Structure 1
Amino acid sequence: AVDAALWDLEAKRGGTSAFALAGVAARPVLSARTIGIRPLAAYREAAARLASWPLLKVKVGAENPLAALKAVRAGAPAARLIVDPNQSWSVAQLRDLAPRLADLGTVLIEQPIAVGDEAGLDGWVSPVPLCADELIDQAADLPKARARFQAINIKLDKSGGLTAGLALARQARAEGFGLMVGCMGGSSLSMAPAMVLAQLCDFVDLDGPLLQADDIRPGFAYANGCVAHPLIPELWG
């Protein structure tokens, strides 16, 4: 929070924007919309309600994940899928499921195995890119993902703020990793610094404000799967 406030302060004092200070252009980005873990019978209905979103992130557990994802595909036939097992799969389960997830239009599998089990990925190439999340907090953690994961998910809440997040993103990109920016739950104000980082990322998951009962005004504008920072100083940056 202090890091974000200092970015905002510097931008306002300088009559510029946090985007300009970071050296990135401000543009709307395509965000994933999350389908949380739920009873198997409820996945299709949830997906159907969000079928207009081009990119859906689906949380699953170790029990019946393939059935859940088939239900999502039936409810949202055109959406690309990010699958997030939240560390619940074994390496063996991941190896078994990955080819079938590819057939369902999955574009990314986020942190499928528990932190500490990543050595089990050595020598195996997944047919769907793997994205490290809880495994990576800082740039110093990147060696644990090398040759095992193809992308990393950066959340400013765990990386230490925008300054550290940008440093991590640039180091990871230099090492050949794809980039995703994610979020914890929160308002548009808490998501705003991540929109700077989103300009550097291949995948964006910034739907946190949509999961709140109410949001700060003015807040992010969501339309057709895209999220736009309003770029007004009343919010941030």
Structure 2
Amino acid sequence: AARAGFDLALHDLIGKDLGKPLYALLGLDPTATPVTSFTIGIADPETTLQKLAQVRDHPILKVKLGAGSASEQIETIAEIRRRYRGTVRIDANEGWDAESAIAILRELERYEIELCEQPIAAGSPEQLRAVSESVAIPIVADEDALTASDLPALRGCVAGVNVKLAKAGGIRGALAMIRTARAMGMRVMIGCMVESAIAATAAAHLSPLADWADIDGPFLIADDPFDGVRYAGGKLVLPDAPGLGVREAAPA
């Protein structure tokens, strides 16, 4: 995280020195940003549905699974689908073993799930391959894909990887991951941790390179002291100020 912070500060300084926003330094189209998902954290079915009522206007939801019985997790998604017609992604957060992952994901195929992140514990690429080959829902590696050097072991095992600046060591590391993933035929998600607008905005500048975005960190932080990336119907709107384009938030 410290390395990533230094990298972001350096790119911000270079952009300000040259009078260009980060996306322009990278030669990217600021209008080519994807729609981000909004995360519903791990909870019991009743709490999950209460949260759904608060965020159902978002066009893409990511639902955290991996806790509770298999039947409870399947029923949670079934209940969400009865109430929500947007895009649904799931993230098991390493919560299943391979056998359980296959069984649960096969049951969830009927609910039009766009993708599943990290269904099993990191460190077993061949088990990830077995899951991927046994289900129709695309599998995306997260904890298994920290830096570009992790990706060769995942080739053919997953449909895509989640690139996070905090994991990759910043902009340079994330770009290396994206290039490597593309060379290996993998799709790319740009994600973030529960982070302030600084890190989320930096990630958003790379989002034109991605197939999917999961940059909802600022939604999950109360009283964020910074403003940066904005959202228009879930689509990421990049700031056009030099560097990262982050500024101090106006007083509430």
What TM-score range do you get, normalising by the shorter chain? over 0.9
Secondary structure of 1:109's match? strand
Q: Which residue of structure 1 lines up, in the alignment, with residue 77 of structure 2?
A: 69
* Aligned residues of 1:156 and 1:165 also touching (Cα < 8 A): yes
5+ long unaligned stretches in structure 1: none
The partner residue of 2:36 within 31, 34, 50 is 31
| CA deviation vs aligned residue, 1:181-217 (integer Å, no higher than 9, x gap) | 1111122112111012211111101110011111234
User: For residues 23-79 of structure 1, what are the alpha-carbon distances to aligned partners after superposition, in whole Å with 9 as ceiling and x for unaligned?
Assistant: 211124311000001122122222222222111000012422111211222232x11
Q: Supply the AA of the counterpart residue of 1:16.
A: K
1:231 offset after TM fit, Å?
A: 2.1
Contact kept, 8 Å, 1:107 with 1:128, in 2: the verdict is: yes
1:218 equivalenced with 2:218 (yes/no): no
Hey, what does 1:7 align to over in structure 2? 11
Distance 1:178 1:101 in 2: 22
The alignment partner of 2:227 has SS state of coil
Q: What is residue 147 of structure 1 aligned with on the other side?
A: 156
The more displaced of 159-168 and 26-35 is: 26-35
Gaps of 5+ in 2: 248-252
Q: How much identity, in percent, do the aligned residues show?
A: 34
- Distance across 1 between alignment mates of 2:124 and 2:186: 20
Residue 120 in 1 paired to residue 127 in 2? yes
Which residue does 1:19 correspond to in 2? 23
Over 4 Å off, 4+ runs:
none
Q: Which amino acid counterpart does residue 166 of structure 2 have in structure 1?
A: D
Number of residues of Structure 1 aligned to a counterpart in Structure 2: 235
Task: Please identify, of 133-142 and 220-229, the stretch whose mean Cα deviation from structure 2 is larger.
Answer: 220-229
Q: CA deviation at 1:90?
A: 0.9
1:164 to 2:173 alignment: yes
For residue 200 of structure 2, what is the aligned residue in structure 1? 191
* Kept in 2: contact 1:43–1:71 (CA 8 A): no
Q: TM-score, normalised by structure 1?
A: 0.93
Aligned amino acid, residue 97 of structure 1 = I
Q: How does 1:55-134 map to 2 (within 5 A)?
A: 55-63=60-68, 64-76=72-84, 78-122=85-129, 124-134=133-143
Q: Which residue of 2 aligns with 1:137?
A: 146
Query: Normalising by the residue count of structure 2, what TM-score does the alignment of the two structures yield?
Result: 0.87
Determine which structure has greater relative contact order: mean sequence separation of CA pairs < 8 Å that are 6+ residues apart, divided by chain length.
Answer: 2
CA distance in 2, matches of 1:154, 1:108: 15
CA contact (8 A) 1:61 1:85 kept: yes
